[in-house]
């Protein structure tokens, strides 16, 4: 069956038969839990390879890197151009990923909530209500300024001229009031105490060139909505061993936040026309924030289908745990510890008890499978053995294509950021004519459709519509008026 994705092999009474799950049932999400080394990643690998070979849209977020390093061998030649390989450890070719670029007004608070959830998770020891309040207003202000990146957070708190330039563009009355009537009245000592924790923690990330060169690029080349709609293969190798645990958690959580927003933006497409996108997250507790709970409630109707795996339930906060067990369709448990087995027993009784779950052999599992929208009784199964690596693979071609399409050379990125860091945002500088170098100016570079003059415009140019310089625009308006007068004479 083309619609069936194989999960495992039944082993009841030695009747070994492959079984799988239909696409519609996968839209209700899958949850895999079990100790390290018991077979979760093998099961995910088998499903991912099937999805890739069947031409489906797939996303994989891997905090170890080993899963992606195997999967990439199975990508066939005809899908090389479908692959977006996000590898932060490739320092010479950082992918452009600006999480606050051109966010629609109606989604700005969702973006900020997602970012705050990320920061709150990775800075639990220093998080405070005051820190949240200031950072929230900083992000909301930056979202209104064209070309902003997360590098602007610390600059806004420290650079008075830059802050004034941002505030001048803010239209949200609450955010504007905070900066003009509240923050501006902080005395020096209070302001220093209030912003120091933010500068310290944000500074730890942006001082790292690995992170800075990714999140600090003004224009993203990573369009997650297009990746989902086109059914591409998105591989995020956020290996903790290569980039560090905090960096892995930050990038992974930012990607998930943007994927959620990309999925929700599909509201402009009828549900039956939305293309399925299967998102696999290994060790997903590393990236689960409080806002992650919202994804379970919303993702299904937007055809963002989740397959989550991790080791034990205590890794999750109560909100995320309740969201999982309240919304999950297919539940799979490998061997688990006594505490998890006690909780899981409630879902598998009377078929299996706590002792059964504790004593499962490696690569064996119990499953409650969603079939045609209904949950089956629990039954046992075993993993399908992983496929042998193909004799021919296209790893270098995949890496090279992703570099060319989604990344810039490190030297170019760092040169752009150096210009931005030294750019003067004082009143006299802002009134001066902007330089043509688009990476360090306000607005976008364009060419007048009439005279060919290089100009700066305050909006992203549409290649399908003409753009005019001020002189040509005035002439066109004069001509239009003459034509109108001639018509109504």
Per-residue pLDDT of the chain (489 residues; tens, 9 = 90+): 458 999 999 987 777 899 999 999 999 999 999 999 999 999 999 999 999 999 999 999 999 999 999 999 999 999 999 999 999 999 999 999 999 988 888 888 888 988 888 888 888 888 888 899 999 999 999 999 988 999 999 999 999 999 999 999 999 999 999 999 999 888 888 888 889 989 998 888 888 889 999 999 988 888 999 999 999 999 999 999 999 988 999 999 899 988 988 898 898 899 889 999 999 999 988 888 777 777 777 788 899 999 999 999 988 888 888 888 888 999 999 999 999 999 999 999 999 999 999 999 999 999 999 999 999 999 999 999 999 999 999 999 999 999 999 999 999 999 988 888 777 776 534 443 334 344 434 466 777 777 777 777 666 666 656 777 888 777 776 765 554 455 444
- Runs of H (alpha helix) within 143-286: 152-158, 160-169, 173-177, 188-206, 209-215, 224-229, 240-243, 245-264
Residues 6 or more apart whose Cβ sits within 8 Å of residue 64: 239, 240, 241, 282, 283
Domain limits of the chain?
A: 22-97+226-414, 105-210, 444-487
Distance CA 301, CA 277 (A): 12
- What is the DSSP code string of 249-277? HHHHHHHHHHHHHHHHGGGGS-GGGSPPE
Structure tokens at 418: 């150096």
Written as one string, the DSSP assignment of 67-126 is HHHHHGGG--GGGGGGEEEE-TT-TTSPBP--TTSS--GGGHHHHHHHHHHHHHHH-TTT
Q: What's the sign of the alpha-carbon dihedral 77, 79, 84, 86? A: negative
| Closest C-alpha to 88, from 239, 246, 297 | 239
Residue with tokens 């077979």: 39
What number of residues does the chain have?
489
- 191 touches 158 (CB < 8 A): no
CATH number, span 22-97+226-414: 3.40.50.300
Question: Residue 40 in 3-state DSSP?
Answer: helix
* DSSP reduced 3-state for 202: helix
Cβ atoms within 10 Å, residue 371: 13
**Nearest to residue 178, comparing CAs of 120, 123, 139?**
139
Say what the pTM is: 0.83
CA distance 120 to 70: 33
The Cα 19–Cα 161 span in angstroms is 63
C-beta neighbour count of 402 within 10 angstroms: 22
Helix, strand, coil abundance in the chain, percent, nearest 5: 50, 15, 35
DSSP assignment, residue 407?
B
> For residue 155, how many C-alpha atoms fall within 13 Å in the half-sphere facing its CB?
23
What does the alpha-carbon distance between residue 29 and residue 24 come to, in Å, rounded to a whole number?
10
How far are the Cα atoms of 117, 282, 328, 346 from residue 325, in angstroms, in the given order? 21, 18, 6, 11
């Amino acid at each position: 069956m083309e619609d069936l994705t194989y999960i495992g092999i039944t082993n009841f009474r030695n009747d070994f038969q492959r079984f799988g799950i239909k696409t519609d049932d996968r839209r209700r999400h899958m949850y895999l839990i079990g100790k390290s080394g018991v077979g979760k990643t093998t099961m995910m690998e088998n499903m991912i390879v099937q999805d890739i070979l069947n031409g489906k849209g797939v996303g994989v977020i891997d905090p170890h890197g080993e899963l992606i390093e195997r999967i990439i061998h199975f990508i066939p030649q005809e899908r090389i151009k479908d692959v977006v390989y996000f590898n932060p450890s490739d320092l010479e070719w950082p992918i452009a990923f600006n999480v606050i670029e051109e966010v629609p007004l109606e989604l700005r608070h969702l973006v900020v909530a997602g970012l705050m959830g990320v920061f709150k998770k990775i800075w639990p020891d220093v998080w405070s209500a005051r820190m949240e309040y200031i950072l929230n207003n900083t992000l909301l202000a930056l979202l209104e300024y064209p070309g902003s990146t997360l590098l602007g957070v610390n600059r806004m708190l420290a650079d008075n001229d830059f802050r004034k330039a941002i505030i001048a563009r803010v239209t949200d009355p609450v955010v504007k009031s905070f900066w003009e009537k509240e923050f501006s009245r902080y005395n020096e000592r209070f302001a220093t105490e209030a912003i120091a924790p933010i500068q310290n923690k944000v500074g730890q990330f942006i001082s790292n060139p690995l992170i800075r060169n990714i999140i600090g690029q003004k224009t993203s080349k990573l369009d997650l909505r297009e990746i989902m709609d086109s059914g591409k293969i998105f591989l995020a190798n956020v290996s903790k061993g290569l980039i560090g645990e905090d960096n892995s958690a930050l990038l992974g959580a930012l990607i998930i936040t943007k994927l959620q927003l990309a999925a929700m933006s599909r509201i402009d497409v009828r549900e039956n026309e939305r293309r399925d996108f299967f998102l696999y997250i290994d060790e997903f507790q590393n990236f689960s924030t409080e806002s992650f709970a919202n994804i379970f409630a919303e993702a299904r109707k937007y055809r963002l289908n989740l397959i989550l795996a991790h080791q034990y339930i205590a890794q999750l906060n109560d909100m995320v745990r309740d969201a999982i067990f309240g919304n999950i369709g297919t539940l799979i448990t490998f061997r688990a510890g006594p505490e998890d087995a006690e909780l899981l027993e409630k879902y598998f009784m009377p078929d299996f008890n706590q002792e059964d779950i504790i004593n499962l052999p490696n690569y064996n599992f119990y499953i409650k499978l969603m079939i045609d929208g209904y949950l089956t009784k629990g039954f046992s199964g075993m993993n399908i053995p992983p496929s042998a690596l193909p004799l021919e693979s296209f790893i270098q071609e995949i890496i090279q294509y992703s570099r060319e399409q989604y990344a810039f050379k490190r030297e170019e990125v760092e040169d752009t950021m150096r210009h931005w860091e030294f750019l003067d945002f004082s009143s006299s500088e802002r009134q001066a004519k902007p330089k043509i170098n688009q990476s360090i100016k306000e607005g976008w570079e364009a060419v007048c459709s009439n005279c060919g003059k290089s100009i700066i415009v305050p909006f992203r140019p549409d290649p399908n519509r003409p753009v005019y310089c001020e002189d040509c625009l005035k002439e066109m308006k004069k001509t239009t008026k003459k034509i109108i007068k001639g018509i109504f004479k």
